[in-house]
């Protein structure tokens, strides 16, 4: 069995609430199991720069309740080339890192996979508010983002009710509509448009709004996932076609911040521990995943080929319950 003694940990891509809890779990479980753990600042950018520091038990005190990532993060263009990967591998050797734990999304895992191919063992921990990592049912940060969006739409609803308006709300989700769909159910949106589905403005927005009006509703919430595009134009069309006063709110990056929920803290802690245990057993080059109620791990190459799909039953439920 290979001997892993020194583990590097980094966060990469968009930040997500709960990343700090995952780092804390990696550091504490790592030290518990006899590893030295090194924090790499600013993702793969910091790996290239050698911005690498040993973390101790107290380095991760009081970080769990904070949003963002105390190690900071990046979307590194420099690393994303064969030369960048070689340089990253070389720098890992300078610091005598035997393995790397990467907390992030699919793009970050592809970077880690490239490092694994040149010889640096890796483990991935899925973290993104979008919940769009295919091999896992759940990604760290999703629940906190949902609660932030839910709180915002609750407030928007108060004013939409008072003025009998239609409120169009754009939520994050470049490629995936999980935030949009969950919040459509949680907030009883009259329409919800997802990047995974073709849409027709008359069928999917105008008719549902008018149907609701004719059944006695006087205010309406339309949720658009960011990846659909054209939110302002959609709102303008609603106003022009229906004559209903229509406002637009783009929630933007406020969805990525905030203190993580219990669900995210617990998921991040369990995933962090699982990542360390995999390395302890020399089960390398894997992504930690939640399947049902169980934390499992998939081979990185297999995990990157997996596909998960938005739940059609949830779409139907959202429509049914907004009548």
Residues that bind ligand F6P (CB under 6 A): 14, 128-130, 172-174, 226, 256
Q: Rounded distance, CA 279 to CA 82, Å? A: 25
Cα end-to-end distance, the chain, whole Å: 60
Cβ-based burial of 160 (10 A; exposed 0-12, middle 13-18, buried ≥19): buried
Nearer to ligand F6P, 14 or 84 (CB): 14
Q: Which residue is nearest to ligand F6P (CB)?
A: 14
Report residue 85 as tokens.
């990967």
Catalytic residue among 15, 98, 106, 130: 130
Nearer to ligand F6P, 50 or 230 (CB): 230
Nearer to ligand F6P, 130 or 264 (CB): 130
Q: Where are the alpha helices (DSSP H) in the chain?
A: 19-32, 43-49, 82-94, 106-118, 142-163, 178-187, 201, 207-214, 231-242, 262-280, 300-305, 312-321
Q: Are 296 and 302 in contact (CB under 8 A)?
A: no
| Closest separation in Å from C-beta 14 to ligand F6P | 3
List C-alpha distances in Å: 235 to 33, 173, 216, 222, 317.
55, 18, 21, 9, 24
Q: Which of 94, 95, 133, 98 is nearest to 12 (CA)?
A: 133
Nearer to ligand F6P, 29 or 180 (CB): 180
| Closest separation in Å from C-beta 73 to ligand F6P | 9
- Backbone CA torsion sign across 86, 92, 97, 100: negative
| Closest separation in Å from C-beta 13 to ligand F6P | 7
Nearer to ligand F6P, 29 or 129 (CB): 129
Q: Rounded distance, CA 215 to CA 203, Å? A: 17
| Closest separation in Å from C-beta 297 to ligand F6P | 23
Strand 220-225: give its sheet, edge to edge: 191-193, 220-225, 166-171, 246-250
Q: Rounded distance, CA 323 to CA 318, Å? A: 9
* 130 catalytically annotated: yes
| Closest separation in Å from C-beta 294 to ligand F6P | 25
| Residue 315 backbone phi and psi in degrees, to 5 | -65, -45
Q: Which of 135, 55, 131 is nearest to 97 (CA)?
A: 55
Nearer to ligand F6P, 128 or 152 (CB): 128
| Closest separation in Å from C-beta 130 to ligand F6P | 5
Catalytic residues, which ones?
Answer: 130
């Amino acid at each position: 069995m290979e001997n892993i003694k020194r583990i590097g940990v980094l966060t990469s891509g968009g930040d997500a609430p709960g990343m700090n809890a995952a780092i804390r779990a990696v550091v504490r479980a790592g030290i518990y199991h006899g590893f030295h753990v090194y924090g790499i600042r600013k993702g793969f950018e910091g790996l290239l720069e050698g911005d690498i520091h040993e973390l101790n038990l107290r380095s991760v005190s009081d970080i769990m309740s904070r949003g963002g990532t105390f190690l900071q993060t990046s979307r590194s263009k420099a690393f994303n080339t064969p030369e960048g990967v070689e340089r990253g591998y070389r720098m890992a050797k300078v610091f005598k890192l035997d393995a790397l734990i990467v907390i992030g999304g699919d793009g970050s895992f592809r970077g880690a996979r490239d490092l694994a191919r040149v010889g640096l063992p890796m483990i991935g921990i899925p973290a993104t508010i979008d919940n769009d990592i295919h091999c896992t049912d759940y990604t760290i940060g999703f629940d906190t983002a949902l609660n932030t969006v839910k709180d915002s739409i609750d407030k928007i609803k108060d004013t939409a009710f008072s003025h009998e308006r239609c409120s169009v709300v754009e939520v994050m989700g470049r490629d995936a509509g999980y935030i949009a769909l969950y919040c459509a159910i949680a907030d009883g949106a009259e329409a919800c448009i997802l990047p995974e589905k073709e849409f027709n403005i008359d069928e999917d927005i105008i008719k549902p709004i008018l149907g609701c009006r004719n059944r006695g509703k006087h205010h309406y919430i339309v949720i658009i996932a960011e990846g659909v595009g054209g939110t302002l134009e959609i709102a303008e069309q609603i106003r022009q076609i229906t004559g209903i006063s229509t406002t637009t709110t783009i929630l933007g990056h406020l969805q990525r911040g905030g203190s993580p929920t219990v669900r995210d803290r617990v998921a991040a802690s369990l995933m962090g521990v699982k990542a360390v245990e995999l390395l302890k057993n020399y089960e390398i080059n894997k992504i930690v995943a939640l399947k049902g109620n169980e934390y499992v791990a998939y081979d990185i190459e297999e995990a990157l080929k997996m596909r998960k799909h938005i739940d059609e039953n949830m779409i139907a439920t959202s429509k049914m319950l907004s009548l």
